Amino acid sequence: MSELTTIARPYATAAFEFAVEAKAIDAMQAQLVFAAEVSKNDTVQALLTGSTNADTLADIFIKVCDEQLDKNGQNLIKVMAENKRLFALPEVVKLFAELKAEYEKTVEVDVFSATELSAEQQEKLVASLEKRLAKKVKLNCQIDTNLIGGLRVKAGDIVIDSTVRGKLDRLATSLQS
């Protein structure tokens, strides 16, 4: 997977830098998402893995995407087709989204709880996380029936485990030391 990331990173970076300069980040992201979905189609996958000429492949891909791609999106597709990198479009979308979140200083946070969080609890959690992470927080709340109580919060590489099970495990570890 890291090889795919290495392949996709220059395209995502170039597309993002262009989108920032053109003040069209959301538009470029929408185009990339659409193109990535097209690249996942079985028929298109066969073309991508076949021995189709790069120009022909780019033309077919652009015709399939039709009006969803502007000139800049079409140029990106052409460059990726010339370099036989269209298979990396889903990873380009993922990296583009990461660059956008970093640029906008936002982070998506997954919150797992035993019961549904009230709006007030969510607001307090958002305020606390925004202060700690120094970024705007978007919560993705999920109920985990395996939890007895408390919360498990995951923001990128950061995990905050304030579940009852986590606290008991830490207590057991400290008692054994």
| pLDDT above 90: residue 14 | yes
Say if CB 11 and CB 85 are below 8 A apart: yes
Q: Which of 83, 32, 77, 35 is nearest to 58 (CA)?
A: 77
Mean per-residue pLDDT, 94-106: 90
pLDDT at 52: 73
The CATH classification of domain 2-102, taken from the options 1.10.520.20, 1.10.10.10, 1.10.3720.10, 3.40.50.450: 1.10.520.20
Looking at residues 112-135, what average pLDDT do you find?
89
Q: How confident is the model at residue 91 (pLDDT cuts 50, 70, 90)?
A: very high
Where is pLDDT greater, at 17 or 165?
17
- The structural architecture, per CATH, of the domain 106-176 is 3-Layer(aba) Sandwich (3.40)
Task: Give me the pLDDT at residue 1, please.
Answer: 53
Q: Is the pLDDT of residue 166 over 90?
A: no
138-155: per-residue pLDDT in tens? Answer: 898 999 888 888 889 898
pTM: 0.71
Give the residue-averaged pLDDT of 118-125. 91
Domain ranges of the chain: 2-102, 106-176
Q: Taking a C-beta distance cutoff of 8 angstroms, is the pair 113, 144 a contact? A: yes
Query: Are 142 and 112 contacting, i.e. CB atoms less than 8 angstroms apart?
Result: yes
